[in-house]
Chains A and B, each alone.
Chain A
């Protein structure tokens, strides 16, 4: 590390932690369970969302273990082994999608950081925020309880006390398997997902209102940090798309319970109609997953390279473009369904259009690095890994958006590899980087950077080991959702399985690092990294109402007004530079980060 940024870990004297902050504002259990403080709600989400991640991750390990060799592993009875596997991959997908990825960045970091970044005291509707959390908890309980007890059901052969029948339809619930053929707990699982959807909708609504109404004086739209642009675009999708999922799930329930005949071909329905309904939400849903990650990366790259973002307007508006275009491409999940060639062509063409704003973001991030001053701290490492992994994930989307190649690659491991590169390699890396980045602000303590870097590298290696080979397996024809496979594919599966175990090692290291940092980490300064978004203008952890002194709004990426604190670690504002910057931006009068 350079002499300008003293080694945080060798600080001789502890800094002073603020006496009163949001964590010790009121310590009773009730003050946590009934809190209206967006920061505490963010933490409540953090606990539950990380628990969901653990559950989803365990089942990923289980299913990859089954795939170590062809033939059944977890039971000598083949039928039981395949049923177990089907429950495993369904559980993994459903828990990860509905309980982890969709809420992760918006509900944890959006809740915590967004109001502070806006210089506000809280979100627009704090009670609605708490309601969102409890809806999430209730939906999660339904879903997780049913899915987990379903695994027991398969093992034992009948439902265990008050247990559910699990879910073996895949997280996509395709009809008519889910309405007619599956004997799993489709109704209860659907109910869980239905409830969870409302948490997402209400959070989105809250954020939209917050961004419109609670921006401070001087923060025009084009002076907002890019994390807020990204969260705003995400919120638009959450509000517009999730209700479609809710209705689709209701129709699924009606079909299964009442045999209405919407999807069942034997009574006049159309199974492919379900796919249209489902993907109309679920494709925008993947942008709910990735847009906040994009926002995080913009913040991580600028802060840790101390350079103003390159192409601010393009990044901001590309988020909106992706959000809107994302509603028009759902049919690219259905190229082989029997849909007309005309429909296929339109969906393929529009799918390509989304590649451009995504690529533009990546180019702008890389351009930001030019001429910058990079500190390869843990959050920055995750951001740089993100760029690499998202590049691969995005480029392999081209193979799938192209009609001729998608016919071959659809429903093979190529698709599995592609979406794990964007959902895990990109979104998860951004999420972990974000937690490291805002950890000092949230908890007032620093994590060990060296351990963090080690965890990042191990996760990166394990991740690529697991999923890079799956592109090859898929191109060679290995189908998805197979519990067993022809011998020729075994080497691919074994490499993947080893990689999965390495990922879990990386996850344990990361978790360990966070726990150690939380209880025994060195005290964090107000601005450990030198960023200029408004959360760094307040103490770590922040006071209950976020700011003891109203912050001055400037360009969020004007990092130069901060310089290293000669007395300790972290960065402090240089008053002359700050005044000069304020004068410059007021003089110009326009909003606008360059």
Chain B
């Protein structure tokens, strides 16, 4: 329909009124509607402000001491009800039409599972060659291919919001809310082609922001990740790299990255600062007490249990807050985390097979070169 096209054209030729870049197929229509509403609003606002200000000046008491007799005008009342009603009906109609387009995926594409928990996003992808699934903490999307998100939460309501794609949907525990996007704008840089940590970090910085936009507790404002849009062949390469974080890296490096990407950092510090969970500094290998008074040694088995079944035993002074990572962190990843923990614990054995020669306390720096 012509009006439909007009909305798309309006949106495509402009950025809209202070809107982000348009990175999805639906963005031009949404921006077109924003334009329409803004224009209608500005017209009415100007009329109302204008008449009010003019009358306030023209009919001020010093200039118009005798007011006019009472007035009413039914015709005017009907006219200024009908005209806005018509404009509003258009607003509703096209808004609804676009919304239906947003609700129904036009053709088959790929599916990405969204795993949300306090306070970290993770996404489950399908390896393009093996068909195996793997988890990665940032969004990698193919340009011009519809992507369906099947979203689950392990605790409270979160909401996945990609401003450049004009899409948002709540992630409700107990449900599998779905939404789809068709990315149309490739990201400016590809971190999977970076050759240094700095290049990698800079490239991710230019990817699209992804926010949690349903208040979910303490670190709601840090539940942020990025969406990278790549041409289809680059997309597949990126998935291959992302699927194997262990390739060409030490366990400690992977463990250090998992500390960030799995969300451990939001509750566990690595420098002794108290937080929602015990600090990892000097944790590995130490002895301590649980809330029931019994004592423990923080060995591999204990750490494994505390990641897969965190409520089984609670360290004294902490509550049952942590959600299980079973299904998200497998044995190999937990081994990586343990190796990392050893590097920041004075109780750990002096030499371990995978630890680097010099054990310095690592900073929470961006990930090392090339692999992610």
Cβ of B95 and Cβ of A271 under 8 Å apart? no
Number of chain A interface residues as a range: 35 or more
The answer, among B60, B67, B99, B175, for a CB contact under 8 Å with A265, is B175
Partner of A480, one of B48, B88, B156, B215: B215
Chain A residues within 8 Å of B29, by CB: 404
Q: Within 8 Å of chain B (Cβ to Cβ): is A373?
A: yes
**Is A161 an interface position by the 8 A CB rule?**
no
A410 — which chain B residues lie within 8 A by C-beta?
A: 168, 213
Minimum CB–CB distance from B54 to chain A (whole Å) comes to 9
- Residues of B within 8 Å of A341, CB to CB, are 99-100, 103
CA distance A177 to B223 in the complex (A): 16
Please name all residues of chain A whose beta carbon is closer than 8 Å to the beta carbon of B275 when the two chains form the complex. 77, 79
Residues of B within 8 A of A443 (CB): none
Asked whether, in the complex, the Cβ of A311 is within 8 Å of the Cβ of B221, the reply is no
A490 at the interface (CB under 8 A from B): no
Asked if B18 and A404 make an inter-chain contact with CB atoms under 8 angstroms apart, the answer reads no
Known contacts A4-B61, A312-B72: A404-B55 contact under CB 8 Å = no
Q: Give the interface centre of B44, B118, B319 by most chain A CB atoms within 10 Å.
A: B44
Q: How far is the CA of A559 from the CA of B70 in the complex (A)?
A: 10
CB-CB under 8 A from B222, the residues of chain A are 82, 484
Interface string of A448-490 (1 = CB under 8 A from B): 0000000000000000000000001001110111111110000
B161 CB to closest chain A CB (Å) equals 7
CB < 8 Å: which of A177, A374, A391, A403 contacts B95? A403
CB of B67 within 8 A of CB of A366, answer no
Measured between beta carbons, the chain A residues less than 8 angstroms from B212 are 479
A352 to chain B, nearest CB (A): 5
B121 to chain A, nearest CB (A): 13
Q: Which of A220-228, A250-258, A353-361 contacts B (4 or more CB under 8 A)?
A: A353-361
Q: Assess whether A398 is in contact with B40, with CB atoms less than 8 Å apart.
A: yes
Residues of A within 8 A of B218 (CB): 79, 82-83, 86, 168
- The answer to whether A373 touches B67, judged by C-beta atoms less than 8 angstroms apart, is yes
Q: Report whether A372 and B55 are in contact in the complex, using a CB–CB cutoff of 8 Å.
A: yes
Rounded to whole Å, the gap between the CB of A94 and the closest CB of chain B is 14
User: Is B172's beta carbon under 8 Å from chain A?
Assistant: yes
Residue contact A366 to B77, C-beta cutoff 8 Å? no
With a cutoff of 8 Å between Cβ atoms, the chain B residues found around residue A369 in the complex are 51-52, 55-56, 59
User: In the complex where A181-B217, A407-B102 touch, is A359 in contact with B80 (Cβ < 8 A)?
Assistant: yes
In the complex, A78→B267 CA distance in Å? 10
Question: In this assembly, does A215 line the interface, its C-beta being within 8 Å of a C-beta of chain B?
Answer: no
Contact check, B68 vs A372: say whether CB atoms are below 8 A apart: yes
Question: CB-nearest residue of chain A relative to B69?
Answer: A308
B52, A387: Cβ atoms closer than 8 Å: yes
- Which of chain B's residues have a CB closer than 8 A to the CB of A336? 159, 168-170
Q: B221, A484: Cβ atoms under 8 Å?
A: yes
With contacts A376-B56, A485-B221 taken as known, whether A411 is within 8 angstroms of B213 at the C-beta atoms is yes
Q: Tell me whether A177 and B217 are in contact (CB under 8 A).
A: yes
Known: A181-B156, A391-B45, A392-B45. Is A371-B77 also a contact (CB below 8 A)? no
Report A314-371 residues with CB < 8 Å from chain B CB: 314, 336-338, 341, 344-345, 348-349, 352, 355-356, 359-360, 362-364, 366-367, 369-371
Separation in Å of the B89 CB from the closest CB of chain A? Answer: 7
Which chain B residue lies CB-closest to A270? Answer: B174
A364 contacts across to B, CB distance below 8 A: 77
Query: Which residues of chain A in 367-393 are interfacial with respect to chain B, using CB atoms and an 8 Å cutoff?
Result: 367, 369-376, 384, 387-388, 391-392
CB of B308 within 8 Å of the partner chain: no
Given contacts A176-B156, A391-B44, contact A356 B85 (CB under 8 A): yes
A388 adjacent to B49 (CB under 8 Å): yes
Collect the chain A residues with CB atoms within 8 Å of residue B49's CB: 388, 391
Within 8 A of A (CB), among B157-186: 157, 159, 161, 163-164, 166-170, 172-175, 177
Is B99 in contact with A307, judged by CB distance below 8 angstroms? Answer: no
Whole-angstrom distance from the CB of A488 to the nearest CB of chain B? 9
- Interface membership of chain A positions 136-177, coded 1 if the CB is closer than 8 angstroms to chain B and 0 otherwise: 000000000000000000000000000000001110001111
**A374: B residues at CB distance < 8 A:** 55-56, 59-61, 64
B88/A477 in contact, CB under 8 A: no
The answer for the CA separation of A183 and B215 in the assembled complex, in Å, is 15
Determine the distance from Cα of A309 to Cα of B73 in the docked complex, in whole angstroms. 12
**A170 and B77 alpha carbons, distance in the complex (Å):** 41
A362 in contact with B48 (CB, 8 Å):
yes
State A84–B157 Cα separation when bound (angstroms): 21
| Cα distance, A356 to B82, chains bound together (Å) | 9
Q: A86-B217, A306-B67 are in contact. Are A338 and B177 (CB under 8 A)?
A: yes
Residues in B neighbouring A168, C-beta threshold 8 A? 217-218
Contacts of B177 in A (CB 8 A): 338
Q: B234 at the A/B interface (Cβ < 8 Å)?
A: no
Q: List residues of chain A with CB within 8 A of the CB of B215.
A: 86, 169-170, 174, 177, 480-481
Asked if A31 is at the interface (CB within 8 A of a chain B CB), the reply is no
Decide if B301 is an interface residue (CB 8 Å cutoff).
no
Chain A proximity of B320: nearest CB distance (Å): 10
Partner pick for B84 among A349, A355, A402, CB 8 A cutoff? A355
In chain A, positions 221-268 with a C-beta closer than 8 Å to chain B are 265-266
The segment out of B30-38, B108-116, B137-145, B353-361 that lies at the interface is B30-38
Residues of chain B within 8 A (CB-CB) of A348 are 92, 95-96
Is the pair B59, A371 in contact by a Cβ cutoff of 8 Å? yes
CB distance from B309 to the nearest CB of A (A): 16
Residues of chain B with a CB closer than 8 A to A479's CB? 161, 211-213, 221
User: Which of B26, B45, B66, B159 is in CB contact (< 8 Å) with A373?
Assistant: B66
- In the complex the two chains form, is B118's CB within 8 Å of A181's CB? yes
Please report the C-alpha to C-alpha distance between residue A311 and residue B159 in the assembled complex, in whole angstroms.
45
Task: Please tell me if the beta carbons of A372 and B156 are within 8 angstroms of each other in the complex.
Answer: no
Question: Within the assembled complex, what's the spacing in Å between the Cα atoms of A4 and B80?
Answer: 35
- Contact status A2-B44, CB under 8 Å: no
Taking A367-B71, A369-B55, A374-B61 as contacts, is the C-beta distance between A349 and B217 under 8 angstroms?
A: no
Chain B residues in contact with chain A, CB under 8 A? Answer: 16-20, 26, 29-30, 33-34, 37, 40-41, 44-45, 48-49, 51-52, 55-56, 59-62, 64-73, 76-77, 80-81, 84-85, 88-89, 91-92, 94-96, 98-100, 102-103, 118, 155-157, 159, 161, 163-164, 166-170, 172-175, 177, 209, 211-222, 224, 267, 273-276, 319
Known pairs A372-B59, A408-B168, A411-B168 / 13 extra A-B pairs, C-beta < 8 Å: A174-B214, A181-B155, A182-B217, A309-B70, A336-B159, A364-B77, A366-B52, A371-B67, A373-B67, A391-B44, A391-B45, A408-B167, A411-B214
Can you identify 7 A-B contacts, CB atoms within 8 angstroms? A176-B173, A341-B103, A363-B80, A391-B48, A399-B37, A477-B20, A481-B220
